[in-house]
Amino acid sequence: MCLAIPGKVEEILTEGDLLIGRVNFGGVVKRVCLDYVPDLKVGDYTLVHVGFALSKIDEETARQTLDDFRAMGVLDAELADEEAAFARAAAAPQSACPDGSCPVFFQVSESKSGEAKSGEPKSGASGTDGSSSGQ
């Protein structure tokens, strides 16, 4: 899930041509690009998505949103450190085409012993040349 998380700007600095801030997300501090909202000041609250500040928000909205995300159980996953995020992604089911755009040629079925066997053509699936492989 991708969320825009509210955080409080604790420090602002420039790195090369980029305006960078240290933003506190309810105890977790991360580096954030502030270039899209250059009028932010230390102490302001901002909505952050994938490392970029998107807008300035008021403190009450920021606190309520953080509380709501905590209650839904999504805040820890969104604010996980890089190592935890990679571990979570590695444990998730993998797909060559996560958007479902790849054609499915084979299905996995179970043998009578309960073991998975693959390589059986899926009924009605088309080959790469457009011919039906289910005949």
Is the pTM higher than 0.85? no
Q: What residues does 29 pair with on adjacent strands?
A: 24
51: tokens are 């490392």
pLDDT digits (tens, 9 = 90+) for 84-115: 655 666 676 766 666 667 665 544 544 455 55
pLDDT value at 10 more than 90: yes
| Backbone φ, ψ for residue 49 (5° rounding) | -130, 130
Q: Which domains occur in the chain, in start order?
A: 5-91 (2.30.30.140)
Instruction: Using DSSP, state whether 116 is helix, strand or coil.
Output: strand
Give the pLDDT confidence score for residue 81 in this predicted structure. 59
pLDDT digits (tens, 9 = 90+) for 58-85: 999 999 988 888 888 777 666 665 566 5
The mean of the pLDDT values for the chain is: 75
